[in-house]
Amino acid sequence: MARSAIIIRRATILKKFGAVRMEPIMKLGQWTIGFTCGLGGACVFLVVALRGAARSLLRPMLIVQQLYATGVLTMLIILVSGLFVGLVLGLQGYYQLVSFSAESSLGMVVALFLVRELGPVLSALLFAGRAGSALTAEIGLMKATEQLAAMEMMAVDPMERIIGPRLVAGIISMPLLAAMFSAVGVLGGYLVAHVQFGVDPGMFWSSIENGVDLIDDILNGVIKSLVFGFVVVWIALYEGHRSVPTSEGVSRATTRTVVASSLAVLGGDYMLTAIMFGGF
């Protein structure tokens, strides 16, 4: 209905302005309307999903199952990626620091990078690609094969049985995954520093101890990953829930999940960093 209204409006505008090319402006307008509608829908969905999530807290077994599916199964890719990121940080950090003879602070540099930025952001991006896309595809297929409708007909609320536990599990597992990412990354940095370049282990660890603050760095990092986890699961569940119930619709929704949640994580990281470390 909204679409036909837009088309009618387009026709009248075209008549009014005749030869003037209005296409790009109308495209922009259409995109804005579509985006606003999507955002509104997502917010309504969130309210219902949060209510379902609250009720699903009474059924911990459902949440545990989802913790396994979203959290545990994502662990491997998080650990491997964290290790490599840490190794690279160690290398790059050492090359830069050694020219100032400051390689003793390598531990602090690696740890700060990981805890403040790379841990929460990269693990959220990996989480979106691994768990978010799976969530969207799962919900979308459940919708396409009428499983959600069948549940409703069995007087079972899919928001409580399906959506809620997944939302809770995503929010719980994201900070844990980010913490693992950072921990393994620091280990990777240590491997490079000590084994490859012979930096003194005591210096490496004490620089971390002195340089990393519990509130400023670690707590802020945890808050970031909580927010990212929430946003990624929200987008994934919403896209799955509103997907067109066909194979093409589900595949599009999966793509949208990965794109939208990656953008949201990166954009959100800028804003959170500005608020947390910019002294607003």
Q: Residue numbers of the site for other proteins (CB under 8 A)?
A: 1, 4, 141, 145-147, 149-157, 161
Q: Which is nearer to other proteins, 64 or 150 (CB)?
A: 150
Query: Closest approach of Cβ 241 to other proteins, in Å?
Result: 15
Query: Closest approach of Cβ 135 to other proteins, in Å?
Result: 13
Residue partners of 274: CB distance under 8 A and separation at least 6: 280
For residues 270 and 280, give the distance between their C-alpha atoms in angstroms, rounded to a whole number: 13
- Burial bucket for residue 249 (CB in 10 Å: 0-12, 13-18, 19+): middle
CB 169 within 8 A of CB 66: yes
Query: Closest approach of Cβ 155 to other proteins, in Å?
Result: 4
Distance between start and end Cα atoms, the chain: 44
Per DSSP, helices labelled H in the chain are: 2-17, 23-56, 60-66, 73-98, 106-112, 119-127, 133-144, 147-153, 158, 164-190, 201-211, 220-242, 247-277
Amino acid at 127: F
Q: Which is nearer to other proteins, 148 or 212 (CB)?
A: 148
Q: Which is nearer to other proteins, 161 or 252 (CB)?
A: 161
Q: Which is nearer to other proteins, 41 or 201 (CB)?
A: 41
**Nearest alpha carbon to residue 180 among 75, 61, 40, 59:** 75
Query: Closest approach of Cβ 138 to other proteins, in Å?
Result: 9
Q: Which is nearer to other proteins, 19 or 153 (CB)?
A: 153
Q: Which is nearer to other proteins, 159 or 167 (CB)?
A: 159
For residues 258 and 278, give the distance between their C-alpha atoms in angstroms, rounded to a whole number: 29
Longest CA pairwise span in the chain (Å): 77
Query: Closest approach of Cβ 145 to other proteins, in Å?
Result: 6
Query: Closest approach of Cβ 141 to other proteins, in Å?
Result: 8
